Amino acid sequence: MLNLSKSSGGSSLENVLITSKLVKEGCIIHSHTNQAEISLSSLCLISAMDPQPGYPLLTTFFFFFCILAILTILKRLNSSRLTSKLPPGPWKLPLIGNIHNLVGSLPHRSLRDLASKHGPLMHLQLGEVSAVIVSSAEVAREVMKTHDINFAARSPLLASKILFYNSTDITFMPYGEQWKQLRKICSLELLSMNRVKSFRQIREEEMSNLVKRLASSAGSPVNLTECIMSLAFTIVARTTFGKKCSRQEQFIPLVAEAVRRLSGFDINDVFPSLTWLHVISGVKLKLEKIHHEMDGILETIIREHGESRAIKTGEGDTPLDLIDVLLKFEEHDEDGFFLSRTNIKAVVLDIFTGGSETSATTVNWAMAEMMKRPKILARAQAEVRRVFGGQGRVVEQDLPELKFMTSIIKETLRLHPPGPLIPRECQGRCKIDRFEIPEKTRVIVNAFAIGRDPKYWTDPEAFDPERFLESHVDYKGCNFEYIPFGAGRRICPGMAYGLANVGLQLAMLLYHFNWKLPNGMKNEDLDMTESFGLSVRRKDDLILIPTSYHLH
């Protein structure tokens, strides 16, 4: 019989009551603790009981397991309450979550199909990563405008950390004061409209060189995809480095490989805690090798620019190249802000990866869509030849007169946004469309799904440039049903740079050549299958036969 007198067992009963009180309070205060912390807390409470002789050991363990069970149940209930506030989503498998839902199909299409079942704000568990998918203009507006600051961050990825100097570039840098200063430099100095205009001669020269090469192959099949990609890299190299440099031929293949590495799915990014995966996959070593080689080339080029900077003014026929512009900020500016050498290198890589891949992909899609629809192609050619026929060549400053061709570019970007999935990260717990988005959740805006939503677009799967002829919808991120370059603070800073390249290239291809498919292929048989990457390319290269229209 248990003696409850104060002299023999009172302290034990008193400690049990204290323990009960502590458990009650602890359940409120520590409902977020993990299992190890729960067990430790429980053991500490049991040790406080100080069992006396005659107090059965079995009873002590009984209290221990009761406490552990109560805390475990409360923890699960709390987790369940948090989960219930998340947006809906498909069922999840243990460990991998919803990764299986994205296997075997293009991610932007898989996510669109899932959103049609689970709603425009959908939760997925991708391994260890909690992700929310946005698939409507209304929710995109909340994320990229109403709560833009809270979603202005980007999640760090293994490739971005290694290739872009620990994510010190404009694309992947965490949101903060340094990012805002760097963004300001890009908007006002590096990629401003005036800076883009200053590179007009480079664009026209390189495009004229391509026209001559195509003319020499007139009547024979050419790989237009390769031609346009090579042109894009050359233009970016000249605008960034200035005159053609000896290391350019080594650098461009490395950038192409970096783009390929950035394009693929990396298991390390959905299981970041399993660092041993880096070793098994070998991905980290490959990325570090590419980074080391690119860094050596960039260091040489930047050092040469630094030595010659004193005699370059940017006046006359030789504009400052982009490295010259960046080097102006290597020392403190009037606000005390400066760019480090690694910042400069990281931004240069941004320009190469973004400025080459996306513009070339857009030109390739536009030509493919027109080849599939000969009437649209003929109308575009007639417009270009009417506007520039008297001049005998395409002049960039007159491109705004090409209303129909501009609509073709807009329609191409609607159906084929260069980056169909726009990544953000939630910086603080936030409520969107009745649902709670926890801190550090990855938010992915599906621009592809929004651009093909029948709620906003008539016959959304059809390529119909006329829809933009009388429309005021533009690329600038104010119309959330059309966000090929994103919106808000993280909108693509190189939009003007890319569009200038796309417009001139398309106009000159349409002006100088008639085009047909090889081997008697019918226009309607042209394969438009996509291939997912840093930008969504056509799976197959575009092979066409050019016929010179006229060349002066």
Tens of pLDDT along 351-398?
998 888 899 999 999 999 999 999 999 999 999 999 998 888 999 999
pLDDT computed for residue 52 by the predictor: 45
b/e 117-126 (16+ beta carbons within 10 angstroms → b): ebbbbbbbbb
- Given a cut of 60, whether residue 334 has pLDDT beyond it is no
Query: Which range among 268-272, 458-462, 515-519 shows the weakest confidence by mean pLDDT?
Result: 268-272
- Given a cut of 90, whether residue 93 has pLDDT beyond it is yes
CA distances from 535 to 108, 130, 530 (A): 11, 23, 10
pLDDT computed for residue 259 by the predictor: 85
* Whole-number percent of the chain with pLDDT over 70: 80
- Given a cut of 70, whether residue 274 has pLDDT beyond it is yes
- pTM of structure: 0.83
Tens of pLDDT along 140-168?
999 999 999 999 999 888 999 999 999 99
How many residues are listed for the chain in this entry? 552
Helical (H) or strand (E) element with 543: strand 543-548
CB-based contacts of 179, cutoff 8 Å, min separation 6: 170, 173
Domain range summary for the chain, segments of one domain joined by +: 10-84, 158-548
> Cα(353)–Cα(358) distance, rounded to whole angstroms?
8
> Cα(278)–Cα(263) distance, rounded to whole angstroms?
17
What average pLDDT does the chain have?
85
For domain 158-548, give the CATH number: 1.10.630.10
Closest C-alpha among 169, 196, 184, 493 to residue 334: 184
Q: Is 27 annotated as a binding residue?
A: no
Return the higher-pLDDT residue of 34 and 460: 460
Closest C-alpha among 454, 418, 456, 444 to residue 143: 444
SS3 415: helix
- When pLDDT is averaged across residues 323-336 and rounded to a whole number, the result is 78
CA distances from 346 to 62, 182, 295, 386 (A): 60, 11, 9, 43
Tens of pLDDT along 174-220?
999 999 999 999 999 999 999 999 999 999 999 999 999 999 999 99
DSSP characters for 228-251?
A: HHHHHHHHHHHHHHSS--TTHHHH
> Cα(141)–Cα(206) distance, rounded to whole angstroms?
39
Q: How many CB atoms lie within 10 A of CB 49?
A: 20
- Given a cut of 80, whether residue 65 has pLDDT beyond it is no
Tens of pLDDT along 30-54?
434 444 343 334 333 333 334 444 4
Confidence label for 262 from pLDDT (cuts 50, 70 and 90): confident
Q: How many CB atoms lie within 10 A of CB 295?
A: 16
Tens of pLDDT along 523-534?
999 999 999 877
- Given a cut of 90, whether residue 317 has pLDDT beyond it is no
b/e 177-190 (16+ beta carbons within 10 angstroms → b): eebebbbebbeebb
Confidence label for 11 from pLDDT (cuts 50, 70 and 90): very low
Intra-chain end-to-end CA distance of the chain, in Å: 113
